[in-house]
A = this chain, B = another copy of it.
Amino acid sequence: MKILLTNDDGIYAEGLYALYKKLSKNFDVTVCAPEVEQSAIGHAITMRRPLRVQKANGNAKLSGYAVNGTPADCVKIAVRTLLKKKPDLVISGINHGPNLGADVLYSGTVSAAAEGAILGIPSIAVSLATYQNHDFRGASEIMLKLAKLVQKTGLPNGMLLNVNVPAVPMSKIRGILATKQGRSLYQENFVKRTDPRGRMYYWLTGKVKWLKKPKDSDIKAIEEKYVSVTPLQFDLTAYDFMPKLKEILGK
């Protein structure tokens, strides 16, 4: 199986390398990742400037390409131009930090997998649900298992799996659950500062607030030390609201 591996933390990120090491023992893995960190870049693509591609050379521990673009750019250019054959699976990660609830809208990690799904390739986004420890071994182990499962079963066209792994040793992980996207909201705060030239600037900070944590949600699974696997699709139409909207528009 040919795997295209990408991320949004950049080609030098530990999570990417840990997963590369694990997967490349079993599969034919090519990396195409942003040359610098692209967290919270969402599904941005680069159209107003050209892209540059650096091939990982003899000194690199990875086989692949670094791109001066976004995670979605990396998947597009790899599939359309750099790879000789379309990959069988796109994996994005391992992200350092959770991608739960509304995070999936902002996440470069998820967007790279979304790009794979849009291009008709089974795709998985994977995140380690902590900003603290850097132990990607459990998450790499889980991903090897899930890659093998998806190799066997495939995925419906246009769908991806959003995987979050709790930050506990492998022996403490209680299992793998199918979950739904929880409902969260960032309570943003903009810290106002003055630069050395006396001009004002703002830093975005904020805390996540969970509106609901239903039993079968991604956040609940992580809190209870399960791996969370959420199937995501990209038809955003609010079908339930359609009759009411027709009424409002006078149809």
Interface residues of chain A, those whose CB is within 8 Å of chain B, are 37, 39-48, 50-53, 72-73, 76-77, 80-81, 102, 104-106, 111, 114, 118-119, 149, 153, 156, 158-159, 161, 176-178, 180-181, 183, 185, 188-190, 192-193, 199-204, 229-239, 241-242, 245-246, 248-251
With A43-B43, A249-B229 as given contacts, are A50 and B202 in contact (CB-CB < 8 Å)? Answer: yes
- Assess whether A47 is in contact with B43, with CB atoms less than 8 Å apart: no
**Considering the chains assembled together, what is the distance between the CA atoms of A119 and B209 in angstroms?**
12
Which one of B37, B48, B53, B249 contacts A176 once the chains associate, using CB atoms below 8 Å? Answer: B249
Which one of B51, B177, B190, B232 contacts A201 once the chains associate, using CB atoms below 8 Å? Answer: B51
- Assess whether B202 is in contact with A77, with CB atoms less than 8 Å apart: yes
Shortest CB-to-CB span from A111 to chain B, Å, is: 7
Shortest CB-to-CB span from A53 to chain B, Å, is: 7
With A180-B237, A230-B237, A241-B159 as given contacts, are A37 and B42 in contact (CB-CB < 8 Å)? Answer: no
- Assess whether B44 is in contact with A178, with CB atoms less than 8 Å apart: no
Shortest CB-to-CB span from A43 to chain B, Å, is: 3
A72, A161, A204, A242 — most chain B CB neighbours (10 Å)? A204
